[in-house]
Structure 1
Amino acid sequence: MKGKLRKNIPTLIILIIAGEMIYTLPYFRNYYYDVFLNAFQLTNTQMGTLGSAYGVCCLISYIFGGYVADRWKTKHLLSISLFATGILGFTLLLYPPYPVLLLIYAAWGITSIMTFWVALIKAVRSLASENEQGKAFGFFEGGRGAAKIIESALVLGLFAFLTKQLSDKLALTSVIIFYSVMCILLGFMIMLLYKEPGNNNSDELKEKSNKKFDWAILLRILKMPTTWLAAILILTSYAMINSFYYITPYATSAFGASTIIAAALGYFSQYCRPIGSFGSGIIGDRIGISNMVIIGYCVLAIGLAALIVLPGKPSFILLLLVFIAIIYISMYALQATHFAILVEGDYPVEITGTVAMPLMIIGYSGEIFMPIVAGACLDHWSGTDGYKVLFSILLGLTIVGLITAIIWQRVTKEKRKANVLQKREMIAS
């Protein structure tokens, strides 16, 4: 198992790019909002409904994604998902009417989540040995951030060039073609490069995993305290990821930041993502994933507390940027540990899909309630008070996450000791 991740780096890079590119088609309309609106002759309400259709199907897909991932081969699921997403992208070139667009976005909710996301997590886990899970997911999340930076810069440059040379609609067409072709090419590359992991498990839970998805395994997983603790860890950290974009209007409202600086803050998060993810993965494998999680929550709490108490004056704008960087880096550091920490909970790779079912349903539920909570705070409290109440709620969730991580360490004490011994034996050999 020594050096397993290093041998699989080419495959990991393909998975990283695929994990970023498959979501460009469902979301690119937000980056080219006005052009998309005019090209497809939509109203703002219809534009928003496309996102709702995608979101509803994503929620349903989270429920069944684990079942699908443990039922069929990972390679086939990933490839078919990318093929289907790309083909659906090509249908946009017909500039179909609104009802057809709704169906396309709903279908993307299935192809990018139900048949793809959990299978992708399972694939990443399989590329690394137990003592490399932090690096694997750190590189995965950080790589997705780096891929996003490169992809958005290239496509935006292409769009700007073609807009001047041709027209907005033809430039949008080129963007659609690029994303669709990339998805299909990545599907072929995964089909050629990815190899299904062998199964050499020994204990009862792992032997049952040979049967692929098994409801008895799910029931047993639900009885394990680590399952619920992991779900809370994802929920409390993902709530920040669902809400960080409220920092931008807060900077404008409280600190008088210009619209340019405010926009830069949004992009700034993507530059912090590789730092947080890579750092979390490397450090996590050295000191233990749960230790890294505790550090991440502590740093995030400091950043949020500072954001709340910092006086809203233009003279403090540079200090604000420092605290925002702290929040972004720790936020993505925690995201990189969402599935890496499973190695401390004694879950074999073969049942990753089954484990992911409760984790995703509970952990990603912040996508549903955090926008509602944020909206209620901003409507109820005027001015910057609403933002501070929202950040206080996020600080409270961060503290809950910190306490949960400490409990996790106590519950997984024996398994973590076994991991340390295994790591020493590997080094000695």
Structure 2
Amino acid sequence: MVNKVSKGYKWLMLCLVGLGYTTCCMTIWMYYSYYDLMQKYFGATNTQMGYLGTITGLVMIVCWPVGGMVADKVSMRKSFLACMAFTVVFFVILAGLKNFNVYMVMLFASCIMMGVYYTLFGKIVKGVSTPETEGKNTGYFWAIYSLGGSVIGAFGSYFVTKMGMAGWRPLMYLFIGLAVVCAVVCYFSLKEDRFNDWTQLDTNKEKPKFEMKSVSKVLLMPEIWVASLIYFTMLMITCAGIRAVSMMGSVYMVPLGIVTFIGVFRQYIGRVILSPVSGFMIDKWGSSMKVIRLLLVITLVGMAAFFIFPVGGDYFWVGILLVVCCTIGYGMQAPCWMTPISEIGVPVAYHGTAIGLYNGIGCISDAFIYVLCGNWVDKYGDVKGNQISIGFICGMLVLCFVLTLVESKMIEKRRDALGRPLPLKAS
């Protein structure tokens, strides 16, 4: 496939969708980064805040597939502008809203928007890529998103530190401003005819035009379902990392300076560096499944050390090792969330639909794993509760490893049937 996208336009689109995701994803997952601030602003209880993760996780199971079909049906430009318009309205309301129940209603609407945007950015990244560069470009996307979130987070922390709760409104204005800028850039620059034509890789039997009657064929592809289960289990690495960090102070008595360093490591190195590295590896090896197996092994090494060595302050390095291994797994997995769809050989016209189904199934784990592990810690204490939690996640990651072996075989058979070379390696 010939690459007709210039480097300048590629980076413009990657920055557009990366920074667009920085702002619009906060309409749903703001509590991940600003939990305490939101709780104080709304006067919400911990139970109410806990509902945010469970409810959005469950609602998104439906919104991912629906959003994927919308992203396939509506033009990229219109979809992107609609998402940015929604984001602006959302944060304008949130800048003056203090009613938690109204916020919950807004959150439901945000889930629909995010279902569209999440599949949309996958299509745009794919459009400026070739089969040999999709992995690294996906990694660049996640790095740009992380940098954008870090910059806004730094300003937000400054506002709150200097102004107290009055800093809430300027923080909302930052998200609004970024959404407006992205909308303007999109309006003048996002043109699908400048993207690479992936339909060249479709077979004659697979129609390049989206048709509802053919959606069921995509939804029933066994390769997508196995990939979704891989995603489902792999996502638990994030929870393992959170549990590991929580143990550093309460169990391993790690000094504050080291904890701070690890926090910076997780925020910046985890995505800004490791995601592009992972993307390069996907392109070089021609398989996201191989990269997933590598990051699983690294993560499991940290978990093995956690169970082999005693728990306590004398073995604080074990806690650090666990956090580092989980961070590497967390940072490397992001490019692997999208690239399997291309490797499976899903028709381009149904790429968004496939991503929607893939995420809908894969993200189910987000709806229960945090609550489940939290309950174990509350019931059995920091040491035993975390041992049960890490042990459960460890078992899921072993299952994930086995599933990647199965998926590799399935992808190979499908690509042979489609008459495409395997693997697609970067030169």
Instruction: Identify if the C-alpha distance between structure 1 residues 147 and 304 changes in structure 2 by more than 3 Å, giving closer, same or farther.
Output: farther
- Say whether 1:144 aligns with 2:145: yes
Residue in structure 1 matched with residue 284 of structure 2 by the alignment: 286
Equivalent in the alignment of 1:409: 408
| Correspondence list, 1:9-408, <5 A | 9-28=11-30, 31-33=33-35, 35-48=37-50, 54-111=56-113, 113-161=114-162, 163=163, 168-196=164-192, 197=195, 198=197, 200-201=199-200, 202-204=202-204, 206-207=206-207, 209-210=208-209, 212-216=210-214, 218-257=215-254, 262=259, 265-271=262-268, 272-289=270-287, 290-408=289-407
> Structure 1: which amino acid aligns with 2:14?
L
Once residues 128 and 267 of structure 1 are traced to their aligned partners in structure 2, the CA distance between those partners, rounded to angstroms, is 31
**Which ranges in structure 1 are unaligned for 5 or more consecutive residues?**
none
Deviation at 1:53, TM superposition (A): 5.6
Letter in 2 for 1:276: L
SS in 2 for 1:131: coil
Which amino acid letter does the alignment assign opposite residue 222 of structure 2? Answer: P
- Residue identity (%): 17
Deviation, structure 1 residue 28: 4.0
- Please tell me whether the aligned partners of residues 252 and 316 of structure 2 are also in contact (alpha carbons under 8 angstroms): yes
Aligned counterparts of 1:5 and 1:384: Cα–Cα separation in 2: 53
| Structure 1 stretches of 4+ moved >6 Å | none
- Aligned partner letter, 1:288: G
1:396 positional shift: 1.1
Question: 1:5 & 1:283 partners in 2: Cα distance?
Answer: 22
Contact 2:232 2:365 in 1 (8 A): yes
2:276 partner letter: F
Preserved contact between residue 69 and residue 119 of structure 1 (Cα < 8 Å)? yes
Change (3 A) 1:308 1:150: farther
Following superposition, the deviation at residue 33 of structure 1 comes to 4.9
Q: Does the 8 Å CA contact 1:245/1:266 hold for their aligned counterparts?
A: no
CA separation of 1:205 and 1:292: change in aligned 2, threshold 3 A? farther
Distance 1:413 1:8, change over 3 A: same
Tell me by how many angstroms 1:220 deviates: 2.0
Out of 329-338 and 97-106, give the one that drifted further: 97-106
> SS at the partner of 2:336?
coil
Q: Take 1:84 and 1:421, find their aligned partners in 2: how far apart are those partners?
A: 40
Q: What corresponds to 2:10 in structure 1?
A: 8
Query: Which ranges in structure 2 are unaligned for 5 or more consecutive residues?
Result: none
Match of 2:227, as an amino acid?
A: A
8 Å contact kept, 2:27–2:90: no
SS in 2 for 1:255: coil
Task: Give the aligned residue type for 2:91.
Answer: G
Q: CA deviation at 1:80?
A: 0.8
The superposition leaves residues 54-111 of structure 1 with CA deviations (integer Å, 9 ceiling, x where unpaired) of 5554343124112211111122112211111111211123335444333323322222
Contact 2:278 2:332 in 1 (8 A): yes
1:24 CA displacement:
2.8
Are the structure 2 counterparts of residues 254 and 346 from structure 1 closer, same or farther at C-alpha, using a change threshold of 3 Å? same
Do the aligned partners of 1:65 and 1:115 also contact (CA within 8 Å) in 2?
yes
Q: Relative to 1, partners in 2 of residues 1:26 and 1:294: Cα closer, same or farther, differing over 3 Å?
A: closer
1:11 corresponds to which letter in structure 2? M
Distance 1:213 1:254, change over 3 A: farther
TM-score using structure 2 length:
0.87
Is the contact between residue 5 and residue 129 of structure 1 (CA under 8 Å) also seen in structure 2? Answer: no
Once the two structures are superposed, residues 200-224 of structure 1 have per-residue CA deviations (whole angstroms, 9 ceiling, x without a partner) of: 44524541x41x24242x3323443
Alpha-carbon displacement from aligned partner over 1:361-410 (angstroms, at most 9, x marks no partner): 21110011212331343244334111112111111111111111112222
